[in-house]
Structure 1
């Protein structure tokens, strides 16, 4: 049986957000990830919105992680659920913001890579099914993956093959959300869809140049890029929660 969220369930317009992701979510290479990583900048945007009274968050981004690392039964998944349970405001609307796929798309290196589009979708559904079973009033927002340069090759091998696979994940996310609209309506949504094209266009100014095995590549946002990505996520989250607040 599904649980439909209504405004009456919340004494005030407050959010508890758990951000699930990889190094981009974690904010690697930023001087102060606690305040500069995309989750922090997303929350900074949300805190300025007049329809919201309070926003609390937990950054559960882990460098190099794939969907396999977040499957139920893993220590990482347990920590995600612990983060969700540890918020002090129990009346706030709980949101899981998920941005995974970069490492899944690699040719080799990260855990389980390369992950096929079908398995990527299957893993996401396994994660979300368990989250909603344990937190039936929560909502899940999938942020589309972010562009990386087709010569990306560091500890993992990505290249054009990986980038193409990453793009193939996007319709799998959208299709999964459509499935949930039928089996568990009003609980799973598509969030940001614009960051991929933004970073492809603005990678020289918003992504960090890194030395790789096939030259300088672009993968991780710099401070400007993290702020931009956080704003994309913040806008997307706000657009979803406005139907409740």
Structure 2
């Protein structure tokens, strides 16, 4: 009799604490794609490792489709060149019917540039429109999927590699953040429970700790800070993981 109760308890525990199976597609630019160094892993890997540590998470499958230099213009369905990467990844993960499909999006850095990336500079209104177009297409194509929108992170005001960012670019990037938050609120009304505000803290944290968390890079206006180093990608990934957990667990 005692053994029967033990078996029943274990079965109930498995049902209670092992129900969360996640499939995540990470959409982004070089910050999503990059490893921070030769021995590093990109932020999505660190985000997934964080999620796997959380109580009740049974499995996490993921695909990182971050593409260096990309803008929201590049990710637009139909006219953009990278949206198909997201759908190919999602198609394989959507087949896992016992998993919750999630899209984690972090775009905006390259949109904010003065010149260089495709479509830059992107005005805040167009940035929001592009993000909304991408998200709405995903929601329509993958019923029941969830989208977590991560805030872009800080970069130094002398950032100027092949593309030109500088202070003007950073100020434009800052204008994107209220647009993202307002967009998420709109989805709360039109598609409740599907689109979530992701990380909001990394921007300030990376600004404050840029010497520690970024790779120093030589540019046309001196040493600039744009891409996280190995420690930085780990920190950023954890921020993303916490935001995803808060949104969907």
Asked if TM exceeds 0.5, the reply is: yes
Q: CA deviation at 1:221?
A: 0.6
2:36 touches 2:230 (CA, 8 Å); kept in 1?
Answer: no
Q: CA deviation at 1:91?
A: 1.6
Shifted more, 70-79 versus 131-140: the winner is 70-79
Q: 2:160 aligns with which of 153, 169, 185?
A: 153
Equivalent residue for 1:21? 28
Determine if the alignment matches structure 1 residue 38 to structure 2 residue 38.
no
Shifted more, 87-96 versus 108-117: the winner is 87-96
Shifted more, 56-65 versus 23-32: the winner is 23-32
RMSD in angstroms over aligned alpha carbons? Answer: 1.4
After TM superposition, where is structure 1 displaced by more than 6 Å over at least 4 residues in a row?
none
Equivalent residue for 2:122? 115
Equivalent residue for 2:136? 129
Determine if the alignment matches structure 1 residue 78 to structure 2 residue 106.
no
Higher Cα radius of gyration: 2
Count of aligned residue pairs for this structure pair: 231
- Where 2:73 maps in the other structure, the secondary structure is helix
Q: CA deviation at 1:29?
A: 4.8
What is the TM-score with the length of structure 2 in the denominator? 0.90
1:12 touches 1:92 (CA, 8 Å); kept in 2?
Answer: no
Q: List alignment gaps of at least 5 residues for structure 1.
A: 1-7
- Where 1:147 maps in the other structure, the secondary structure is coil
After superposition, where does 1:82-101 map in structure 2 within 5 Å?
82-87=88-93, 89-101=96-108
2:35 touches 2:229 (CA, 8 Å); kept in 1?
Answer: no
Determine if the alignment matches structure 1 residue 68 to structure 2 residue 78.
no
Q: CA deviation at 1:202?
A: 0.5
Q: CA deviation at 1:32?
A: 4.5
Determine if the alignment matches structure 1 residue 50 to structure 2 residue 60.
no
